[in-house]
């Protein structure tokens, strides 16, 4: 997979793309991560990328030309293959979820666009992008942090990125539920004991305990998730207890 981020602040991505799991995935050639400064595609000699809004009002609006040219520079010359998803990071976008991360992880090329201004010229929304994504109901100073969130959540799903293949399919949200509690040594820490069942070596009982704890935690913290989760009859009986 290839992911290109269009931003006026490519330096913000240096640490995130180079460190930890993303850095390793890149090193192993599992993903190509790039940044493009779309100011380089400005059609003015001063590198202007924004302008005042037609109709008046405060704030600046990102002009269409630099963003169209930057996206086209990444797609021109391509003769075959699927078209890239061109994703605009903005608070008005569709809410980013684990399901969306799974969908994007199946693509071969993503282009993420980050703005730092009041808004985007509407023609960018209408004719350049395929998706608009928001990472939550709050307003950031720009789309960069949101793009980092999306890249991180997508890349960790790519085959070979996580050491333990089971870890992505079992974590919170992939099952539709929150994760069960985890414990490691010591079995007794300051008198706080690890549940006996986890020390029992009885795999079936452990699996049952984990499922029940996942359900309990989801019911307590995110009951909304239970509506969409795939539940067995046994799960439903536990929830009713």
Q: Which residues are annotated as a binding site for S-adenosyl-L-methionine?
A: 115, 135-140
If one asks whether residue 135 binds ligand ADE (CB under 6 A), the answer comes out as: yes
Q: Which residues contact 135 (CB under 8 A, 6 or more apart)?
A: 89, 95, 96, 145, 146, 149, 150
Stretch that binds ligand ADE, among 77-85, 89-97, 158-166, 218-226 (CB under 6 A): 89-97
Q: Which of 36, 146, 154, 168 binds ligand ADE (CB under 6 A)?
A: 146
CB 193 within 8 A of CB 187: yes
**Phi, psi for residue 102 in degrees, rounded to 5:** -65, -40
Q: Tell me which residues are annotated as active site.
A: 91, 118, 156, 171
Q: Which is nearer to ligand ADE, 150 or 162 (CB)?
A: 150
Provide, rounded to whole angstroms, the least separation between the CB of residue 142 and ligand ADE: 6
Q: Which is nearer to ligand ADE, 147 or 155 (CB)?
A: 147
If one asks whether residue 140 binds ligand ADE (CB under 6 A), the answer comes out as: yes
If one asks whether residue 62 binds ligand ADE (CB under 6 A), the answer comes out as: no
Structure tokens at 143: 């789309």
If one asks whether residue 91 binds ligand ADE (CB under 6 A), the answer comes out as: yes
Stretch that binds ligand ADE, among 129-137, 152-160, 177-185, 187-195 (CB under 6 A): 129-137
Q: DSSP per residue over 29-75, as a string?
A: TS-EEEEEEGGGG-SSTT---EEPPTT--SS-EE-HHHHHHHHHHHH
Task: Using DSSP, state whether 221 is helix, strand or coil.
Answer: helix
Rounded to 10 degrees, what is the CA torsion of 208, 212, 218, 220? -160
If one asks whether residue 124 binds ligand ADE (CB under 6 A), the answer comes out as: no
Stretch that binds ligand ADE, among 69-77, 88-96, 207-215, 229-237 (CB under 6 A): 88-96
If one asks whether residue 119 binds ligand ADE (CB under 6 A), the answer comes out as: no
Distance CA 88, CA 114 (A): 7
Provide, rounded to whole angstroms, the least separation between the CB of residue 208 and ligand ADE: 39
The three-point CA angle 128-133-134 to 5° equals 140
Tell me the residue nearest to ligand ADE as measured from the CB: 146
Stretch that binds ligand ADE, among 2-10, 55-63, 85-93, 178-186 (CB under 6 A): 85-93
If one asks whether residue 86 binds ligand ADE (CB under 6 A), the answer comes out as: no
- DSSP 8-class letter at 136: S
Q: Which residues contact 120 (CB under 8 A, 6 or more apart)?
A: 61, 62, 67, 88, 90, 113
CB 114 within 8 A of CB 149: no
Provide, rounded to whole angstroms, the least separation between the CB of residue 110 and ligand ADE: 15
Q: Which residues bind ligand ADE (CB under 6 A)?
A: 89-91, 134-136, 138-140, 143, 146
């Amino acid at each position: 997979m290839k992911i290109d981020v269009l931003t006026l602040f490519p330096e913000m991505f240096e640490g995130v793309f180079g460190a930890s799991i993303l850095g390793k995935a890149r090193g192993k050639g599992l993903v190509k991560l790039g940044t493009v400064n779309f100011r380089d595609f400005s059609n003015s000699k001063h590198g202007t990328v924004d302008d005042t809004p037609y109709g008046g009002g405060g704030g600046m609006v990102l002009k269409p030309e630099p963003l169209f040219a930057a996206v086209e520079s990444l797609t021109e010359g391509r003769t075959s293959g699927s078209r890239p998803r061109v994703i605009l990071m903005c608070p008005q976008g569709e809410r980013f979820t684990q399901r969306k991360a799974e969908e994007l992880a199946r693509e071969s090329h993503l282009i993420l666009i980050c703005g730092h201004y009041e808004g985007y010229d509407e023609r960018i929304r209408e004719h350049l992008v395929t998706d608009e994504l928001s990472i939550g109901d709050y307003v950031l100073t720009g789309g960069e942090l949101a793009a980092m969130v999306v890249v991180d959540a997508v890349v960790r799903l790519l085959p070979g990125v996580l050491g333990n293949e089971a870890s992505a399919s079992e974590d919170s949200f992939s099952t539709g539920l929150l994760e069960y509690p985890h414990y490691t040594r010591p079995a007794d820490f300051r008198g706080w004991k690890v549940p006996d069942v986890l020390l029992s070596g009885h795999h079936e009982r452990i699996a049952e305990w984990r499922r029940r704890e996942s359900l309990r935690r989801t019911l307590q913290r995110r009951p909304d998730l239970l509506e969409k989760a795939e539940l067995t009859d046994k799960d439903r009986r536990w929830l009713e207890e």
